[in-house]
Structure 1
Amino acid sequence: MREWMFKSRQKLLTAALLLVSAAFAAAQDGAAGIEEANTKVRSYFEPGTNLMYAIGAVLGLVGAVKVFQKWNGGDSDTGKVAAAWFGSCIFLVVVATVLQSFFGV
């Protein structure tokens, strides 16, 4: 009976060592994977900020047309609409610039 318990403990210890070595190997590959993901995300960052600038420009044009229509229509809330559109464009540009400087890309 003791021999059976000894062999089962030995098998359990062997399985645990194999599991630990597999986990260590996976951790090594995981570090390389994280580094690869970091490189890929950083490669998409500059096109993403350029896209945000382009969206800001389109929003600026659409906002300018909307404000011009309200101004020509004689609406009283033209200033509020102009501030809202202008603020949204400035927000997009500032967010893109801050993210670019924050991540150092």
Structure 2
Amino acid sequence: MKTKVQRFFSKAAAIAALIFLWVSRALAQSSAGIDQATAEVSSYVDPVSNLIIAIGAVVGLIGGVRVYIKWQSGDQDTQKAIMGWFGACLFLILVGVVIKAFFA
């Protein structure tokens, strides 16, 4: 006959084993969800990055035209306009490249 202490420890071991299996199963499911989310986010990185680079190119073209118009009209602050438009264009292109590098 088993004593009360032996029965208690056998029940405790069975409960601990069930809890361990339940927790490992829950962690496996959350890991699958994280993997799925990572794959989904990675599928959006290239199109978004290319879109940002294209917007940077359009901003650069618009900026070039506006600076040319200012230069032709004889404005004194063309250098400030050049730096502003060039900075915006450079920022957008670098953001697109950094996003690709960060998620690659």
Cα distance in structure 1, aligned partners of 2:59 and 2:69 = 15
List runs of 5+ in structure 2 lacking aligned partners: 1-14
Query: Partner residue of 1:55?
Result: 55
Query: Partner residue of 1:30?
Result: 30
Report which stretch shifted further, 27-36 or 46-55.
27-36
Query: Partner residue of 1:42?
Result: 42
Cα distance in structure 2, aligned partners of 1:102 and 1:45 = 9
List runs of 5+ in structure 1 lacking aligned partners: 1-13
Q: TM-score, normalised by structure 2?
A: 0.71
Cα distance in structure 2, aligned partners of 1:26 and 1:101 = 32
> Shift in Å at residue 25 of structure 1?
4.2
Cα distance in structure 2, aligned partners of 1:34 and 1:74 = 58
Same amino acid, percent of matched pairs = 45
Q: Deviations over 1:16-45 (max 9, x none)?
A: x88x94x65443322111100000101110
What SS does the corresponding residue of 1:76 show, helix, strand or coil?
Answer: coil
CA RMSD of superposed structures (Å): 2.1
Number of paired residues? 87
